[in-house]
Structure 1
Amino acid sequence: MKRNIDIFEFPLNLGLKKKDHETEPGVKKLPEWLRKFGFHKEINPASIFRLEAPDYSMEPDQESGVLNAKALIEYAQNQADFILDHYTEKTFNIMLGGDCSILIGTAIALKKLGNFGLFYLDGHTDFIPAHLSETSAAAGMDLAIITGTGHEKLTDIQGLQPYFSEENIYCAGNAETDDDEYVAQILHSDIHYFDIDQLRKNGFSKTAENFLKMISSKTLDGFFIHLDVDVLHDKIMPAVDSRMEDGIDYENLKDILKPLIHSPLCFGIEITVLDPDYDKNGTYTQAFVKNLIQIIKNKED
C-alpha cells in the first residue's frame, strides 16, 4: 500500500450483552491484543489515535429498546468528532474495535464528509430492529441503525439520518440463514445482499469488483469496509461473541479484500469482535494478523 496508514483504536464493548460467565465482553482488549502479535509494528502507521470508551454496563433503554443507548450515542458523537479532527486526506484508516457498534461513530463522520458506500463483511446481517433482537445489543443491529432502521435516538443523531444509504451498501457473508424472519429484514431493504452461499457462487473477487463498479458509477466520495472476524470459518476464528460454524477462509478473505483495500477510494477498514478472552494463547489471532498484514501490505505468502 502506497498511502500512509493511520490506526484508530476504539475499544468499545457497550454494543454487546455480556454472557453469564463474563464480567464484561473482552473485545475491548482487541487493539492491545493485535499490538502484542505485531500488527502495529508491521503496519508501521504514521499515527496511532485512541479514544477511550466508557466503563461497561448493561443499562436498558426503554425508548429505543437498545442496551446502553445513551452511552453509545455519546461515544458515537465523540468518535465522529475524533475521526474528523485527526484523519488526513488520502490516508488509509484502520479502525480497531471493540464491537460492531463502533460503526455508528464512523458512519456519522463519513456522512459529514460526503456520500460514502459501505462494504459490510460479516457472518451476520446485523440488520434487524430492536424488537427482533434476543439480546437488545447494538452490535447485532448496527447495519440497521446506520441506514435508519430503529429509534431516531440512534438512527438520527444530529439530524443526519441515514448515515449510509441502503442502495450504496453491499452486505456479504451472512451465515445465519436458517432464520427466515431474520433474513427477511435485509431482503426487504435496498441493500445489495449476498449470504455465504451467494457470495461463493458469485465469486469473492467478482463481488468486490462489482462493488467498486457501483461506487464508480454513482460517483460516490469513497467507501468504508466493515470486517467482523466472525465472517471467518469457525475452525480458523472461533474467538468471537456469536459463533457460526460456516464462514470463509483466508484465501477468500484475500480475494475479497485486496481489490477493496487497494482502491484509492477506500477510506479505511474497521476490525471488530475478535475477543482475546476466547484465544488465550493467541493461536487464532496470530494467523489472523499474518493474513491481514499480507492483505493490507499487498504481500504474498
Structure 2
Amino acid sequence: MRNLVVFECPSNLGLKRMSYAKEPGVKKFPVLLNQLGFYTAIGSTKTIHIKAPKHSMEIDPITNIRNARSIINYSLLQADVIGKQISKDTFLLMLGGDCSILIGSAIAFKKKGRFGLFFLDGHTDYMIPECSHTHGAAGMDLAIVCGYGHDNLTNIDNLSPYFEAQNVFCVGNREYDEEYEKPIRGSEIHYFPLNELRKIGIQNVINHFFDILSKNQLDGFFIHLDVDVLDDTIMPAVDSRQSGGLSYPELKEILTLLFNHDKISGMEITIFDPDLDPDKEYINAFMMNMIPIINKIKTK
C-alpha cells in the first residue's frame, strides 16, 4: 500500500485572460474535484493546498514570459512543499491549474535525484517566448523543465535541466505544423505525436520508456497529463481546442501500463476549466475514467 497525497496547485499564471472570463478558470479544478467526491473515491490520505499568486496579464520584460516572477516564486514554494512528501511509500497527485505547475514539480524531483518524465499533452509545449503568441508559460513548460529558454526560469537554484531531455517522452501532440514541431524534433526528447503513437503502438512506446528508465538507472518517473490530450469531442473544456485527440480507452491503456511500473512517483493533471463545463458533463466522464486507474496504485 502506498499513501496517496493530493496537492492542490490552483495556479493560472501561465495563461492569458480568456474572452469568456476575467481570468482563466483552471484554478477552480481542484475545488470542483473535491466537491464531486474525487478525493474520497481515489482514497487520498492527505490533501495539501498550495496557494497561488493572483493572476495578471503582466509580461516580464526580461524573460518575455507572462507572470514570470510570480511563476518562479510559486515554483519554489511548490518544490519545497512537494519535496517533503516524495518517498517510495507515497504517490503524489498534483492538480492544476495550468501546465506551468510542472516547473515546481520538476524542481522538487530534481532535488531528490534523477527522474524521467512522461509528458502527455495535445501540444509539445516546447517553444521559446519569441515563438509564442500568448507569452504564457503554459505553452512553454516542457521547454522550461528541459532547460530550453531563459535562465531565470530554466535554471532556478542552478538546477537546470530539471529533467534531462534523454529521459523525457513527449506523447500525444496533434499540432503537426512543421515549424512548431521543429524544436522538439531537434532535441533529445523522445517524441511521439498522436499519429506516430498510433502507428507504432501504445505498448511499444511504453516499453521503450521503461527501457530508458532501466538503461539510465533513474530513481523514478513522473507523469504530466494535460487533459487537452483527449479528443475534443470528449474534452472541450480546455483553453486551446483542436480537433482529434486520444480516446478514453487509449488514455486508460497508457496510464494503466505506466501505473503498473514500480518506479512511478506521481502525476499531475492540468488545464481543465470548470467554467467551460457548466453542466459538469465532461468532468464527470473524466472522473469515471480516472478513478479506477488511480485506485490501482494503492495495491502496490
TM-score bracket for this pair, using the shorter chain length: over 0.9
Unpaired segments of 5 or more residues in structure 2?
Answer: none
Counterparts of 1:203-218 in structure 2, within 5 Å, are 203-218=201-216
Q: Name 1:107's counterpart in structure 2.
A: 106
SS of 2:124's equivalent in the other structure is coil
SS of 1:103's equivalent in the other structure is helix
Amino acid at match of 2:288: K
Count of aligned positions: 297
SS of 1:226's equivalent in the other structure is strand
CA deviation after TM superposition for structure 1 residue 20, in Å: 2.5
SS of 1:174's equivalent in the other structure is coil
Amino acid at match of 1:43: I
1:158 matched to 2:157? yes
SS of 1:225's equivalent in the other structure is strand
Query: Contact conserved, 1:209 with 1:259, CA < 8 A, in 2?
Result: no
Counterparts of 1:24-39 in structure 2, within 5 Å, are 24-39=23-38
CA deviation after TM superposition for structure 1 residue 22, in Å: 1.7
Query: Contact conserved, 1:6 with 1:46, CA < 8 A, in 2?
Result: yes
Greater CA drift, 107-116 or 13-22: 13-22
Aligned partners of 1:152 and 1:65: how far apart in 2?
Answer: 12
Aligned partners of 1:5 and 1:34: how far apart in 2?
Answer: 15
Aligned partners of 2:244 and 2:222: how far apart in 1?
Answer: 25
Aligned partners of 2:143 and 2:74: how far apart in 1?
Answer: 18
CA deviation after TM superposition for structure 1 residue 216, in Å: 1.4
Greater CA drift, 254-263 or 109-118: 254-263
Query: Contact conserved, 2:185 with 2:191, CA < 8 A, in 1?
Result: yes
Query: Contact conserved, 1:120 with 1:226, CA < 8 A, in 2?
Result: yes
1:250 maps to which of 248, 251, 263: 248
Q: Name 1:241's counterpart in structure 2.
A: 239
- Root mean square deviation of aligned Cα: 1.2
Q: Name 1:292's counterpart in structure 2.
A: 290
Query: Contact conserved, 2:234 with 2:282, CA < 8 A, in 1?
Result: yes
Query: Contact conserved, 1:208 with 1:257, CA < 8 A, in 2?
Result: no
Query: Contact conserved, 2:118 with 2:168, CA < 8 A, in 1?
Result: yes
Counterparts of 1:100-139 in structure 2, within 5 Å, are 100-139=99-138
| Runs of 4+ in structure 1 over 3 Å off | 86-89
SS of 1:113's equivalent in the other structure is coil
Query: Contact conserved, 2:43 with 2:295, CA < 8 A, in 1?
Result: no
Q: Name 1:264's counterpart in structure 2.
A: 262
CA deviation after TM superposition for structure 1 residue 66, in Å: 0.3
TM (norm. structure 2) is 0.97
SS of 1:95's equivalent in the other structure is strand
Query: Contact conserved, 1:37 with 1:289, CA < 8 A, in 2?
Result: no
Q: Structure 1 residues 231, 136: CA separation in 2 closer, same or farther (over 3 Å shift)?
A: same
Q: Name 1:21's counterpart in structure 2.
A: 20
Aligned partners of 1:28 and 1:119: how far apart in 2?
Answer: 23
Counterparts of 1:42-61 in structure 2, within 5 Å, are 42-61=41-60
Q: Name 2:278's counterpart in structure 1.
A: 280
Aligned partners of 1:209 and 1:38: how far apart in 2?
Answer: 34
CA deviation after TM superposition for structure 1 residue 72, in Å: 0.3
CA deviation after TM superposition for structure 1 residue 86, in Å: 3.5
Aligned partners of 1:209 and 1:32: how far apart in 2?
Answer: 35
Q: Name 1:92's counterpart in structure 2.
A: 91
Q: Name 2:174's counterpart in structure 1.
A: 175
CA deviation after TM superposition for structure 1 residue 88, in Å: 4.2
Percent identical:
50
Counterparts of 1:41-80 in structure 2, within 5 Å, are 41-80=40-79
Greater CA drift, 37-46 or 130-139: 37-46
Query: Contact conserved, 1:39 with 1:289, CA < 8 A, in 2?
Result: yes
Amino acid at match of 2:221: F
Unpaired segments of 5 or more residues in structure 1?
Answer: none
1:192 matched to 2:163? no
Aligned partners of 1:101 and 1:250: how far apart in 2?
Answer: 24
CA deviation after TM superposition for structure 1 residue 159, in Å: 0.4
| 1:203-242, Cα deviation, whole Å (9 max, x unpaired) | 1232222211210121101110000000000010000010
